[in-house]
């Protein structure tokens, strides 16, 4: 697909993508929807007000959603609408566009609606009502299980029968670029010492979790589960997600009710939501599941995972960058439809704007881990950085950047990146 707009072949935001986000600018501080295309954002409010959707009445009649502060209203219109909208915007930017008068040949609208990405500020794309974090990365679950229980008992008997998850915290989900402050908490300085008395201290094992996030569109009524075969209709799109984790705090607090303050410190997501439709071409098989799973989790297709190349960079305070991991989002045992079918099997209602996390994505080989806990084998092995520094866990001033892309040069369906810099802890010692 060629465009009249100059789009670099290495751009994550090719014509094959058309991801949606929320922006503001120095000239106009009001949050508003946009798409990313090449090195530009198309301000959808300005585009709609300039008559950009006049060639399709089925979109034009919903133009009010392009003046919302979030993408929730747009997401709530459902997947058939998202499909029409994406195809329309692709046709507006196509080299042989039938709508040249709308944007390509309208210098005045181009100057107000087509904004260099470097000049826009991104915001959280949706207002997030609820956030649920799954644990579908089988290699991650196995690696972490080995550290705590040894390889023979690494996976719990329930692991291959249900997508394990906990209800997370929506209020501390932040957009890429937001700094993350090292938390304080209770830790057992020496886990082997008796009696077990915790110390109150800044986290010493602050870590990342490379995940994919999924935004729900069009929820279900309380009491009406979403069938696994219909769950795809409830996927608005995907983002990269870094679920920051305080490992030492988690170890002391998480039995029996699961992680709490070790995880509520913050969750970072990439700003551009890649629509479910843009990912249709990249569906593939995940990790085979040898267990005979319950009928409500059985899918009509095995090609239900996503083939997205993922990378983690660690940038030290002096600006030196090291890629510490490369993996792929097909390293999951459970698909999004299975996660949604399980989440709602009790009748629990998902709502437009809810965020689901996949769980940490790790491959089976060294160098494909989605967390430092795994890569350092619980802090025993050192990660060497390209400037000679060493890490077991994150230091203050470190920046973590996660990138993700599907497809090939010239037609990349990319996620851009999610980044966050670790700030020194507050002084809570008094």
Number of residues that bind ligand NAG (CB under 6 A): 24
What is the Cα–Cα distance from 352 to 70, expressed in whole angstroms? 12
What is the nearest approach in angstroms of ligand NAG to the Cβ of residue 142?
Answer: 14
Rounded to a whole number of angstroms, the minimum distance from the CB of residue 125 to ligand NAG is 25
Candidate segments 17-25, 104-112, 351-359, 416-424, binder of ligand NAG by CB under 6 A: 104-112
Binding status of residue 284 toward ligand NAG by CB under 6 A: no
Strand partners, 82: none
131 is in an annotated binding site: no
> Does 289 sit near ligand NAG (CB under 6 A)?
yes
Interacting span for ligand NAG (CB under 6 A) from 85-93, 155-163, 263-271, 421-429: 155-163
Question: Residues with Cβ < 8 Å from 270, sequence gap 6 or more?
Answer: 176, 239, 240, 241, 402, 404, 415, 416, 417, 418
Stretch that binds ligand NAG, among 123-131, 172-180, 286-294, 371-379 (CB under 6 A): 286-294
Cβ-based neighbour number of residue 256 at 10 Å: 4
Return left, alpha or beta for 206; rule: phi > 0 is left, psi -120 to 50 is alpha, else beta: beta
The DSSP call for residue 393 is S
Instruction: Kindly provide the residue ranges of all beta strands, DSSP E only, lying in 128-277, ordered along the sequence.
Output: 131-134, 165-167, 173-175, 180-181, 184-187, 199-202, 206-207, 210-216, 235-243, 245-246, 267-269, 274-275
State the binding string over 332-361 for ligand NAG (x if CB under 6 A, else -).
-xx---------------------------
Whether 140 is a known active-site residue: answer: yes
Q: Is 158 in the site for ligand NAG (CB under 6 A)?
A: yes
Tell me which residue has tokens 């935004």: 215
- 164 vs 265, which CB is nearer to ligand NAG? 164
150 lies in the site for ligand NAG, by CB under 6 A: no
The two structure tokens encoding residue 238: 């995907």
Which of helix, strand or coil describes residue 313?
A: strand
The only residue of 1, 386, 426, 428 in contact with ligand NAG, by rule CB under 6 A: 386
Please pick, from the candidates 292, 390, 427, 430, the single residue that binds ligand NAG as defined by CB under 6 A.
292
Return the SS3 of 352: coil
Tokens representing 270 are 């990439």
Binding segment for ligand NAG among 198-206, 228-236, 293-301, 356-364 (CB under 6 A)?
293-301
The neighbour count for residue 410, using CB atoms within 10 Å, is: 15
Bond prior to 256 in cis (omega within 30° of 0):
yes
Beta bridge partners of residue 383, listed in sequence order: 391
243 annotated ligand binder: yes
Tell me the closest approach of the beta carbon of residue 218 to ligand NAG, in angstroms: 24
Of the candidates 25, 84, 97, 112, which one interacts with ligand NAG according to CB under 6 A? 112
Q: What is the DSSP letter of 87?
A: H
Half-sphere exposure of 162 (CA within 13 A, CB side): 10
- In the complex with ligand NAG, the residue whose CB is nearer, 72 or 360, is 360
Query: E-assigned strands of 65-169?
Result: 114-116, 120-123, 131-134, 165-167
> Which residue in the list 82, 99, 139, 140 is annotated as catalytic?
140
Does 254 belong to an annotated binding site?
A: yes
- CB 35 within 8 Å of CB 41: yes
Nearest to ligand NAG of 84, 112 (CB atom): 112
Write the interaction track for ligand NAG spanning residues 36-75; mark x where CB under 6 A is met and - where it is not: --------------xx------------------------
The CB-based long-range contact list for 191-197 (8 Å cut-off, 24+ gap) reads: 191/251
Annotated binding site: 133, 135, 149, 209, 211, 243, 250, 254, 263, 267, 360
Binding footprint of ligand NAG on the chain (CB under 6 A) = 50-51, 101, 106, 108-109, 112, 156-158, 164, 286, 289, 292-293, 298-299, 302, 320-321, 333-334, 386-387
Catalytically annotated residues: 140
Q: Please report, in range form, the residues annotated as the binding site for Mg(2+).
A: 243, 263, 267
């Amino acid at each position: 697909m060629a465009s009249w707009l100059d789009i670099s072949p290495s751009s994550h935001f090719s014509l094959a993508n058309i991801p949606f986000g929320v922006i503001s600018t120095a000239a106009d501080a009001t949050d508003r929807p946009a798409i990313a295309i090449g090195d530009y954002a198309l301000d959808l409010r300005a585009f709609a007000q300039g008559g950009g959707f006049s060639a399709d009445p089925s979109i034009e009649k919903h133009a009010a959603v392009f003046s919302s502060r979030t993408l929730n209203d747009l997401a709530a219109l459902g997947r058939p609408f998202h499909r029409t909208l994406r195809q329309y915007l692709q046709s507006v930017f196509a080299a042989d566009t039938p709508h040249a008068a709308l944007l390509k040949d309208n210098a005045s609208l181009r100057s107000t609606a087509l904004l260099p990405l470097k000049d826009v500020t991104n915001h959280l794309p949706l207002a997030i009502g609820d956030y649920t974090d799954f644990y579908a990365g089988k290699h991650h679950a196995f690696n972490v299980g080995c550290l705590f229980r040894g390889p023979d008992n690494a996976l719990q008997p329930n692991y291959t029968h249900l997508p394990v998850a906990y209800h997370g915290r929506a209020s501390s989900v932040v957009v890429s670029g937001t700094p993350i402050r090292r938390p304080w908490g209770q830790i057992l300085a020496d886990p082997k010492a008796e009696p077990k008395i915790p110390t109150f201290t800044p986290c010493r094992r602050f870590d990342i979790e490379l995940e994919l996030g999924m935004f729900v569109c069009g929820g279900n009524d309380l009491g009406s589960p979403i069938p696994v075969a219909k769950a795809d209709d409830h996927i608005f799109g995907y983002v990269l997600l870094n679920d920051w984790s305080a490992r030492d705090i988690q170890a002391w607090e998480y039995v029996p009710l699961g992680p709490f303050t070790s995880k509520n410190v913050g969750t970072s997501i990439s700003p551009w939501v890649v629509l479910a439709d843009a990912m249709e071409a990249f569906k593939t098989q995940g990790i085979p599941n040898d267990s005979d799973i319950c009928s409500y989790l059985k899918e009509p297709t095995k090609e239900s995972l996503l083939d997205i190349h993922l990378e983690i960079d660690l940038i030290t305070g002096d600006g030196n960058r090291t890629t510490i991991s490369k993996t792929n989002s097909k390293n999951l045992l459970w698909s999004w439809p299975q996660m949604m079918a399980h989440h709602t099997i009790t009748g629990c209602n998902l709502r437009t704007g809810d965020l689901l996390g996949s769980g940490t994505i790790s491959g089976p080989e060294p160098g494909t881990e989605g967390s430092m806990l795994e890569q350092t084998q619980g802090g025993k092995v050192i990660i060497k950085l390209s400037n000679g520094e060493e890490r077991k866990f994150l230091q203050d001033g470190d920046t973590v950047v996660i990138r993700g892309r599907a497809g090939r040069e010239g037609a990349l369906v990319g996620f851009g990146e999610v980044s966050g810099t670790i700030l020194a802890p507050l002084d809570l010692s008094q």
